[in-house]
Structure 1
Amino acid sequence: MFGNIENLVLSSQGAANGVDPIGLGILTLIAVIAWLLIGTYGTKVALKYESVISFIGGFAIFILGIQSMLGALGIPL
């Protein structure tokens, strides 16, 4: 869910606010393990739909590009 820097910042905030370090450590481990499982198994599921996901992503970028150009030309959407 969070990267290393985010975990460091959240841990620092928790320590500064007097959060129980054991509870914070346990919750951090649960979050890291959950994110590892979601990433591992979610990737396996998503690979089945790679072509659809790529098309949707490309189409979204295309639409956003058109929207940006029309906005730069002063054409309201």
Structure 2
Amino acid sequence: MACGCPVLASDSSSLPEVGGGAAGYFPAMDTQALAALMGEVLENPELAGEMSRLGTAQAARFDWTESARRTLEVYRSLA
């Protein structure tokens, strides 16, 4: 996602939370749904481009420095 590649992920666990509206989702273990989604992205350059643009922006929300700063802030508030 951070590299601008369209991301397809299963709709299980926290993947939808992390990917937000930038990724394409399919039901976990449904290989036919995954294949259909792959075909849709491969056959639609506009969709792939939009997923790339949205994905880059979504990935920017997850910065290790910022995550570390927030974690430290929580620890300090508890001390």
Q: What TM-score do you get using the length of structure 1 for normalisation? A: 0.37
Which has the higher Rg, Structure 1 or Structure 2? 1
Higher relative contact order (CA 8 A, sep 6+): 2
Select the structure that is richer in helix. 1
Q: What TM-score do you get using the length of structure 2 for normalisation? A: 0.37
